[in-house]
Amino acid sequence: MAQLTLSGIEKRFNNTLAVKDLSLDIKDGEFFALLGPSGCGKTTTMRMIAGLEAPSAGQIHIGEREVTALPPADRNVGMVFQDYALYPHMSVRDNIGYPLKVRGVRGSNYTERISAVAEQLQLGALLERRPGQLSGGQQQRVAVSRAVVHHADVFLFDEPLSNLDAKLRLEARAFLKRLQRELKMTVVYVTHDQVEAMALADRMAVMQGGVVQQVGAPLEVYRRPATTFVASFIGNPPMNLLPVTLERAGRWRCGDAQLTPDTPRPELVGRTLTLGLRPEHLLLDPAGELSGEVMAVEPLGVETILMLSVAGETVAVRLPGEAEPPSSGTLRLRPEWSRAVLFDEEGARL
Ligand code: ATP
């Protein structure tokens, strides 16, 4: 295994700058997620790491080796794609063994390595079948087996769970995480699913429009999003964003409400900023400073989501368990100030 370093890489397709000045240091043995909405440049970044796309600028290093100009086969990178790209006419055994065959591994070494991986990924009984005779989850395990049968320095996963149903996806997620830990794999994992990224990654990069908005551990990003984009992309429901005018130190206005935050921020007086509060950090409290009109109640079993209109904005409040809040009328809310985040006029965290 090895670390992976991207230094100022860019990719331009005619007039589109798909990836802009991207630098990342992915550590040896780290599970790193590239997360962002469709079109943000995740796949292009992955393809540049794999060598399937040449960067327009910047360098890529795997360990001490610069690989920017090397063809894919010389990079020692294992890949799993969204569609698995299994060979339909080959057996599971030959699909898994393909990377060994092209590297000239033969005989008992070949069969033993396939058996070891198949055992680990619970495919031992399916080795003679063809991909068309397997379920989606089994095909996904074959694709992972094929990637790990050869000891690559870095493994690239591009939305590998998106073809699985919700239950299988949960199982496959746990399985991938365990495999990565056991084999101490360096993994770059592309997904648009923030839950998947948070569940799997040691660290993640959130991208928008070809630019990395924030890099950090999942909970760090959740607690302290760097921008309003990250705040609203991570979390379900996303972070509530409310306009506040800082009239005096420790006296902020939000619609008709006067707020008294625990940090007065005198240096920001006179500005209109955005206050960010997660749905679990707005508490129902008859003495709360904010008032909201109930628009909807979503009883989800494990939690209840209350949707309210506060100062003209739709706000979500998370209540634990089977709470039964009133389904209409006005409720008062108290911000948990220690968890509040403030963003400037451009949407950057202050
Ligand atoms: P998705 O999740 O939908 O796959 P993504 O985040 O992986 O999206 P990319 O596929 O990397 O995004 O695309 C980034 C941008 O580059 C998009 O605007 C896309 O249209 C553009 N793009 C990607 N590949 C090409 C190409 N071969 N030619 C021209 N433009 C491209």
Q: What is the ipTM of this complex?
A: 0.95
For ligand 1, is residue 54 a contact (CB within 6 Å)?
A: no
Ranges assigned E (strand) in 136-202? 154-158, 187-191
Please report the pLDDT score of residue 3 as a whole number: 94
| 283: nearest Cα among 224, 222, 350, 338 | 338
Rounded to an integer, what distance in angstroms lies between the CA atom of residue 209 and that of residue 193? 17
Please report the pLDDT score of residue 1 as a whole number: 65
Distance, CA 13 to ligand 1 centroid (Å)? 9
For ligand 1, is residue 192 a contact (CB within 6 Å)?
A: yes
Distance, CA 217 to ligand 1 centroid (Å)? 26
The residue whose two tokens read 């109640």 is 297
pTM attached to this predicted model: 0.91
Please report the pLDDT score of residue 140 as a whole number: 84
For ligand 1, is residue 13 a contact (CB within 6 Å)?
A: yes
Distance, CA 214 to ligand 1 centroid (Å)? 20
Residue 124 · residue 92 · CB < 8 Å = no
| 344: nearest Cα among 230, 227, 202, 222 | 227
Ligand 1 atom nearest the C-alpha of 40 is 6
Among protein residues, the one whose CA lies closest to atom 20 of ligand 1: 39
Please report the pLDDT score of residue 105 as a whole number: 86
Ligand 1 atom nearest the C-alpha of 210 is 14
Task: Choose one of 9, 13, 83, 196 to mutate for the ligand 1 pocket test, by most ligand atoms within 8 angstroms of C-beta.
Answer: 13
Q: What is the pLDDT along the chain (350 residues), one digit of tens a residue?
A: 689 999 999 999 998 999 999 999 999 999 999 999 999 999 999 999 999 999 999 999 999 999 999 998 899 998 888 777 888 899 999 999 998 888 888 888 888 989 988 888 788 899 999 999 998 888 888 988 888 888 889 999 998 887 777 887 888 888 889 889 988 999 999 999 999 999 999 999 999 999 999 999 999 999 999 999 999 999 999 999 999 999 999 999 999 999 999 988 999 999 999 999 999 999 999 999 999 999 999 999 999 999 999 999 999 999 999 888 888 999 999 999 999 999 999 999 99
Distance, CA 18 to ligand 1 centroid (Å)? 6
∠ CA 164-166-168, rounded to 5°:
55
